[in-house]
């Protein structure tokens, strides 16, 4: 069963994504700030990470960069979800290693479709 790490400081988003992903048969672990998210990514070695950008302690861009530039973790797909929808934000997300950049508010189906695309590949 694929393991997904969801990191977002908005508890309602974390809980909703976790519920929906578990309903689809995924194993889900969650973190509520960047520091916890980075620690979980390294300890749990998830198959995919859903990552908010604006979080306490360490932002999503920095987490993505730290993971994507480390040979041990660079294979893990990262889906960034964020309220920051400017083209420059998307460009930064891509430069730091995000595989997909989804802006809030998002449709949960869009996130599920993206997760399925990466985990079935």
Residue spans per domain, the chain: 3-106
Assign 107 a pLDDT band (cuts: 50, 70, 90).
confident
Assign 84 a pLDDT band (cuts: 50, 70, 90).
low
Mean pLDDT of 96-104: 83
Mean pLDDT of 93-103: 79
DSSP readout, the chain? --EEEEE-S-HHHHHHHHHHHHHTT-EEEEESSHHHHHHHHHHH--SEEEEESS-SSS-HHHHHHHHHTSTTTTTS-EEEEES--SHHHHHHHHHHT-SEEEESS--HHHHHHHHHHHHH-
The pTM of this model reads 0.91
Domain 3-106, CATH: 3.40.50.2300
């Amino acid at each position: 069963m694929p393991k997904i790490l969801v990191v977002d400081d908005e508890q309602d988003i974390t809980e909703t994504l976790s519920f929906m992903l578990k309903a689809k048969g995924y194993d889900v672990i969650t973190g509520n700030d960047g520091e916890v998210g980075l620690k979980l990514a390294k300890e749990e070695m998830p198959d995919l990470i859903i990552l908010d950008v604006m979080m306490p302690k360490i932002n999503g861009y920095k987490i993505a960069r730290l993971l994507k530039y480390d040979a041990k973790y660079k294979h893990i797909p990262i889906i960034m979800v964020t309220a920051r929808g400017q083209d420059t934000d998307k460009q930064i997300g891509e430069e730091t290693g995000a595989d997909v950049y989804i802006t809030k508010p998002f449709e949960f189906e869009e996130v599920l479709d993206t997760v399925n695309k990466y985990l079935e590949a």
